[in-house]
Amino acid sequence: MSPHVLIIVLCYNGIDLTLACLASLRDIEYENYDILIVDNASQDGTPTKVREQYPHVHMIETGANLGFAAGNNIGLRYALHHRYDYALLLNNDTEVAPDFLRVLIDSAESDASIGVVGPTICYHEQPDIVWSAGGVIDWQRGNSHMIGLGERLAALPNQPRDVNFVTGCALLCKRRVLEQSGLLDERFFMYYEESEWCVRAARAGFRIVHIPQAHILHKIPLDARADQPYVAYYMTRNRLLFLRATSARLSAWLHALILQDGRTLLSLSLRPKWRAKKHHRNAMLHAWNDFWHGRFGALRHG
């Protein structure tokens, strides 16, 4: 029998996105799987509407917005408790190709050393443009970035390759990885948690592999991350938390604090065209303050 897979779809509002994601999962060419919706206290009737239209889908309501890490950990604990062979983290703002899960499973099963695999993720608006083909970490500078971002799909290599991390937008892992590496670090709340977790898995001896033949579409704007102060906060604080959690070298800290954050703060403060972004500057300062005082999890205002 093929491996038993739990597909974990975390939701916080966005019922139309969730229903479209579930509709695409209905057509996948793989039979031995279950779907678990973890709802982070949506205010748009997500639990009721999903139960009405997809009564076979499992549902856990968290009662609060726990963020990406803690919300998905509820699903991962469910997968461990029910002895699934694999767990798949899948964003609710995605639609999948019918063969994506079969391709991922076949690749993961081909080598016992492979612990985590991820598909090629393209923009829903422009399906021939890549958003992620795995990720790479620059340990010298303390940066990470998506491989293939903005490239044409046809330009990607067509062979699986080892990467430093797979984005949590679509991440398939073996149960052994969870048992040996633990779950997502909930201090992150959102951003960088899957990167740190993949580093832990790799250091435990598991390969992290991008599978180019598996495809999904992501309903994210073509200009990528939203230009919001809260994003600046989480990306600033969590990059520092990532460096600490992974015991990064001094050069990475210096680059992150001085050459990257320091330069950005100066530009936001001094350059006339960026002075209007005072909320971004304040968010970064807030992030630094919270990091040094050990305040993690959800952003606290005031």
What's the confidence (pLDDT) of residue 300?
81
Say what the pLDDT of residue 196 is: 97
Question: Which pLDDT score, from 0 to 100, does residue 66 have?
Answer: 95
Q: How many CA atoms lie within 13 A of 297 on its CB side?
A: 8
- Among 168, 190, 151, 147, residue whose Cα is nearest residue 296: 190
Per-residue pLDDT, 45: 94
pLDDT tens-digit map of 109-120: 999 999 999 999
- The parts of the chain modelled with pLDDT lower than 50 are none
Q: Residue 229: its pLDDT value, please? A: 85
SS (H, E, C) 212-256: EEEEEEECCCCCCCCCCHHHHHHHHHHHHHHHHHCCCCHHHHHHH
User: What CATH class has 5-218?
Assistant: alpha beta
**pLDDT recorded at residue 276:** 54
**Residue 167: what pLDDT?**
97
Among the listed residues 174, 151, 158, 154, the one whose alpha carbon sits nearest the alpha carbon of residue 76 = 174
Q: What is the pLDDT of residue 228?
A: 82
Any idea which residue has 């779809």 for tokens? 9
Q: Give the pLDDT score at 206.
A: 98
pTM for the complete prediction? 0.93
